[in-house]
Structures are given as structure tokens and as C-alpha cells.
A and B are shown apart, each in its own frame.
Chain A
């Protein structure tokens, strides 16, 4: 499965100036399962795993609710998400459209991808000013 991920910023001269981390959140996947992740063809390695990841705006296995409403989201206590972070080498990404390819590499035949994000952090970046989605 391939996805297009747009990145506005220009690649820095060296990886001390900024780092890019590809985050993939999957529903009901186990930490021991393996996935082949490519970023513009470069195979990425997992740098961090969180099998207890929670996200109040992911509703699986329930249907996605209609948009709008009060905007108050509560995480289901039994929600089971797997977060996989991958460091993206400096020469693997570019400004503009980038291709993210995900392939199931373990015994399972199907995995459900919930979110794909690229986190660009600058060495001189300011502290985060808010939490992730769903929290005011």
C-alpha cells in the first residue's frame, strides 16, 4: 500500500539541524509483528514502539462518527493501537510529495492503518504548545 505524504519544508544541510520521524499507528497489531516500511524507496527501521498507544480520535473497531459535534473525545479503555516510529534518513526525504510504502511482513495478511505522520523537529525548535488532537 502506497501513500503520498507532502512535506513543505526544505531538507536541511545536515541532520543536526532537523530530524524527521515517520509515525504509523495501526489498529490491533501486536508489537512483535513486522512491517516493511519504505520512504521514497528507502527501507526504514523501527526506532520506537508503543503497543499501548491511545488516540481519542481513532474509533476502530467502531465506525468513524459523523464530523462535528461537541469535540469532546474520550479514549476507549480497551483501545488497542500500535505506534511505530521510524527515523527517516536525511537523504531519504525531500520537500514536496514523498512516497510512503507499507507492507505486511509477518504472518498476518491484513493490517489496519489508522494514521501516518511525519514529525519534523528542528534542533532549535520551540517547546510543543499543545497536546495531540482531541485534548483542549
Chain B
């Protein structure tokens, strides 16, 4: 533990192995087989986990990076500066293990989260642990009934244009802290 960055070449080698395998499969089926990796939402987080994003980008080992999960605040600019424009960046928002204080957030909060991702340079966005079915179906199979805001959000959050001119709430993630005199 604590030596992840020191041992980063092993993760890079793993990525190289997966990339090589996918390139072989792509050649066999005569169409691309892209590789996406899910990584922390900050450059510092990736470093702490031993993910050398710069090496991955320089060696063209990955096509898409899914950034983060719990936090609304994703450092798209920081990761972009490391990997350049050839890697697609897609911030992720988990609404089960959500940002503290914002589970099942209002549509205005969700617009703020995803519009910020695009403004900061995301190519696309990802939802995780969101309701994918109508409440009646969820109930019938004993599943969790998520708020209707998810259904509204799915019609808006995929493109900045569908959120333009609509009310939004922008929040500081994990603001809970002590403020001194």
C-alpha cells in the first residue's frame, strides 16, 4: 500500500496487454474495439492509484476515460491537460453513492452538475446507479423506485443545448467544513 505510483508501470503494462488484445479482436472483426477505463476524478487521485494517464495517452492505450463517480466536482480540465484531445473524457455521476447531501437531487442540481461537466471540457457524460425503468416496473420486481427527476434528466443531460436557458443549481461538493474567524 502507498506504492501505487512507484509501481505504475505494472498498470500501464496491463493496459498495454488489454489494448493489444483488443486490437487483435478489432482486426479479426474488421471494426474498431475501443477501450475505456474508469479512473478517479482528479489527476491527484489517478496518481494515488498508480494510473499514469500521460503514459496511457502517449502510448495510445486508451480511447475513453470515465472520470469519478461520487463527486459532482470532476477535474476535467486537469485530466485534459494530461491526456490531450485524443482521449474522450466522460465524467460520471452516481446517484446511489452520491455526493454527500445530494442524493436524488433536484433536476436543477442535476442540470448544474452535468452542464458544468460539459463546460469544463467533457466529451460526454455517464450516469451510474440511476433508475432505468418506470416506477411501476421497479415495484413489480421489488426494485428501488428512483425519483422522477432521473427520467427528466435523461432527456436533458446528454447535451449542453438541451440544458441551455434552464434553471440550474451549482453546488460546492462536500462543502461541509468549519469556517473560522
Contacts and interface: CB of A to CB of B under 8 A. Distances in A.
A4 B55 CA distance: 30
A90 interface: no
Contacts of B119: 6, 8-9, 95-96
A76 to B, nearest CB: 14
B104 A121 contact: no
Nearest to B94: A67
A43 B147 CA distance: 37
A85 to B, nearest CB: 12
A110 B181 contact: yes
B180 A104 contact: yes
B115 A116 contact: no
B134 interface: no
Nearest to A12: B165
Given A71-B103, A115-B101, A8 B178 contact: no
Interface string A115-136: 1111111101110111111111
A115 B175 contact: yes
B36 interface: no
A125 to B, nearest CB: 4
A87 interface: no
Contacts of B149: 129-130
Specify which of A7, A100, A128, A133 lies most central, judged by the most chain B CB atoms within 10 Å of its CB. A133
A58 B106 CA distance: 16
Contact of A1 (B116, B118, B180): B180
A116 B173 CA distance: 8
Most chain B CB neighbours (cut-off 10 Å) among A6, A109, A120, A136:
A6
B177 interface: yes
Interface residues on A, range: 35 or more
A45 interface: no
A68 B112 contact: no
B68 to A, nearest CB: 13
A103 to B, nearest CB: 7
A103 B178 CA distance: 10
A122 B167 contact: yes
A113 to B, nearest CB: 5
Nearest first, the 8 closest Cβ-Cβ pairs linking A and B are A8-B115, A8-B119, A67-B97, A116-B172, A125-B167, A104-B181, A1-B179, A116-B175
Interface of B: 70, 73, 96-98, 100-109, 112, 115-116, 118-120, 144-149, 152, 160, 163-172, 175-181
10 contacts: A5-B170, A8-B118, A9-B115, A9-B168, A71-B104, A104-B181, A108-B181, A117-B169, A133-B104, A136-B146
Interface of A: 1, 3-9, 35, 55, 57-58, 60, 64, 67-68, 70-71, 73, 95-96, 100, 102-105, 108-122, 124-126, 128-136
